[in-house]
Amino acid sequence: MLRTFDIILIGLMIAAASITYKIKHDAEKQMNQVTKLERMISDENDTIDLLKADWSLLTQPNRLQKLIETFQGQLDLQLVEANQIIDINDLPQPKPVVFDSVADIITEASAKDLKPDSTLTGSVAKKANPAPKGAAQ
């Protein structure tokens, strides 16, 4: 009886040791992954800082002025005047186009050299663009 109990305890100790080892191994894997992610985040933050520095260098007014002077002939840039800048609310609102009939729509489309929609064929199109009296329908 004593031997059976010893064998059970030895089995339990081996199981506990293997479970402990597995948990430790999984925790180390997770720590490696966290370290890798922290390194990637650090690299991305360094890249962002580098890009911000590059952006501030590229948008320096002195540098832009030199570029404007160098390429003035190709760019044909002009100074912005104060009366050119307005608020979006100051823009005139477009008036909505209201048509009384389908014939008005077709007339407007033909005036703008647009083809009428293919769904406007048949009786509506014939009423809108009646054929001359001598022509066959």
pLDDT tier for residue 115 given thresholds of 50, 70 and 90: low
113 contacts 103 by C-beta, under 8 angstroms: no
Encoding tokens for residue 66?
């030199």
pLDDT tier for residue 59 given thresholds of 50, 70 and 90: very high
Encoding tokens for residue 132?
């001359």
Write down the pLDDT at residue 124: 45
Say which residue, 86 or 15, is predicted with more confidence.
Answer: 15
135 contacts 124 by C-beta, under 8 angstroms: no
Q: Residue 125: which of 100, 108, 99, 103 has the closest Cα? A: 103
Task: Please state, in angstroms and rounded to a whole number, the distance separating the CA atoms of residues 109 and 129.
Answer: 12
Mean pLDDT value across residues 1-25: 93
Half-sphere exposure of 19 (CA within 13 A, CB side): 6
The residue ranges of DSSP E strands in the chain, in sequence order, are none
Q: Is the pLDDT of residue 128 over 60?
A: no
Largest CA distance in the chain: 122
pLDDT tier for residue 9 given thresholds of 50, 70 and 90: very high
Please give the angle made by the CA atoms of 69, 74 and 79, to the nearest 5 degrees.
55
Write down the pLDDT at residue 113: 65
The highest-confidence range among 33-47, 78-92, 114-128, by mean pLDDT, is 33-47
Q: Is the pLDDT of residue 127 over 90?
A: no
